[in-house]
Amino acid sequence: MSAVLRATDLHKSFRRGREEVHALRGVSIQVHPGEMVALLGRSGSGKTTLLNCLLGWERPDRGTVEVPGAADPAAAPWTAVAVVPQRFGLLGELSLADNVALAARLAGQLEPATAAGEVLDLLRLGHLAERAPDEVSLGEQQRTALARALVVRPAFLVADEPTARLDDELTAHVVSTLRDLHAATGTGVLLASHDPAVVASADRVVRLDDGLVVAG
């Protein structure tokens, strides 16, 4: 089984009415343990489609995806590949603390509430822990989704524009938190982002243009 998160020669098209949209046209990417890779590209270049294929949320028309710990990416546990979706996916009926603790519990942690509290504090959300998602800002929801991913101590973290709702100061804090995390635990991080601060802190940048990886 692979210790690397890898996609090879992915192709994916969507049908929109009569039109065929080629979201991915032969994309290969790999992320090694302990590496932070920024996935860059303008809106519509295929970033989310690529991440969704890596997560098993979309099936590529062609190409292969390898994730650690599972034969099929759709079956990979969050401890292998955790995700911060572009639309967060928090459970509205649970507090921020319970959203994060639930992920910890499902990952088999013995003290899920304690673990959730620690990660929420790390992301400066401790004072909001008992609120529901719709009682906090979008930036706070976004960091809660990040906390939910980090609490399981994943081998890989895939995050779709995880700082898009944050100001510069919080973006810097999130980026340094991710750097500390992957230095401490060897988590491999793949971040789709336009943010210069995210790009500057990455070990490597992969640029997508119209469904293809381009140089630089």
Ligand X SMILES: Nc1ncnc2c1ncn2[C@@H]1O[C@H](COP(=O)(O)OP(=O)(O)O)[C@@H](O)[C@H]1O
Q: Which residues sit at the interface with ligand X, rule CB under 6 A?
A: 14, 16, 21, 23, 41, 43-49
Angstrom distances, CA of residue 117 to CA of 139, 147, 187: 18, 10, 20
Residue 16 or 127 with smaller CB distance to ligand X:
16
Binding mask 24-63 for Mg ion (x = CB under 5 A): -----------------------xx---------------
160-189: contacts with Mg ion (CB under 5 A)? none
Dist CA 64 CA 109 (whole Å): 31
For 158, the 3-state DSSP assignment is strand
User: Which residue, 23 or 81, is less far from ligand X as judged by CB?
Assistant: 23
Q: Does residue 13 contact residue 49 with C-beta atoms inside 8 Å? A: no
Minimum distance of ligand X from residue 52's CB (angstroms): 8
Residue 20's binding partner, choosing from ligand X, Mg ion, none, with beta-carbon cut-off 5 to 8 A by kind? none
Q: Which is nearer to ligand X, 45 or 187 (CB)?
A: 45
* Shortest distance, position 133 Cβ to Mg ion, whole Å: 21
CA distances from 58 to 51, 88, 190 (A): 9, 17, 17
Q: How far is the CB of 71 from ligand X (least distance, A)?
A: 25
Could you tell which of Mg ion, ligand X, none binds residue 44, using a CB distance below 5 to 8 A set by kind? ligand X
CB of 12 to ligand X, least distance (A): 8
Taking CA atoms, 115 is separated from 118, 119, 120, 141, 153, in Å, by 5, 6, 9, 18, 10
Of the pair 16, 18, the CB lying nearest ligand X is at 16
User: How near is the Cβ of 21 to ligand X at its closest, in Å?
Assistant: 5
Please report which residue ranges of the chain form alpha helices under DSSP H. 47-54, 96-106, 112-122, 138-150, 168-185, 196-201
Applying CB under 5 A, which residues contact Mg ion? Answer: 47-48
